[in-house]
Amino acid sequence: MHRRQRTFAELLTRSLAVAGLVYAFVIAYAVPATLLAETPGPSSPTRPGASPMSPYDSQVTWERAHAERFPGCVDMAEWTAAEEPSAVVVVRRGGGVRQMPFDEAFRRATSPSAADDVWVVGGCR
């Protein structure tokens, strides 16, 4: 007995049906189980309620002294330009304030190490 070759439309329909079943399973079981879990997921901080920058939260606001020390820079909350800032004003882990290139601040913010973290408070044109 010889089977006929399936058309592209038949293969596509079968593939989409299988993918639909997989997505239905994920939506029906995995998502609610994750959302209703009592323990926090792996993306939560190691100590619930504590931010890694919490000792610096009181120091990470834009102040008038920053505007005087870094002319041409404004509070990051007021940054409205469509382009990225050429430089940013950051608060380092030790509490020091300095200006650094945007790319370096982004690299530090996205690095896996917490040792080089900075908190961006201002943007410079």
C-alpha to C-alpha distance for 87 and 104, rounded to whole angstroms: 9
pLDDT (tens place) for every residue of the chain, 125 residues total: 677 888 999 989 999 999 999 888 888 887 777 777 666 555 544 444 445 555 545 557 788 888 888 888 888 888 776 778 889 988 887 778 889 998 898 888 888 887 888 888 888 88
The pTM is what?
0.51
The closest of 54, 80, 76 to 67, measured between CA atoms, is 76
Q: In what order do the strands lie in the sheet with 97-101?
A: 73-75, 118-124, 87-92, 97-101
Contacts of 61 (CB under 8 A, 6+ apart): 121
* Among 73, 103, 105, 110, CA closest to 91: 105
Helix or strand run (H / E) with residue 92:
strand 87-92
What are the tokens at 7? 């058309």
Alpha-carbon distance of 30 to 75, in angstroms, equals: 42
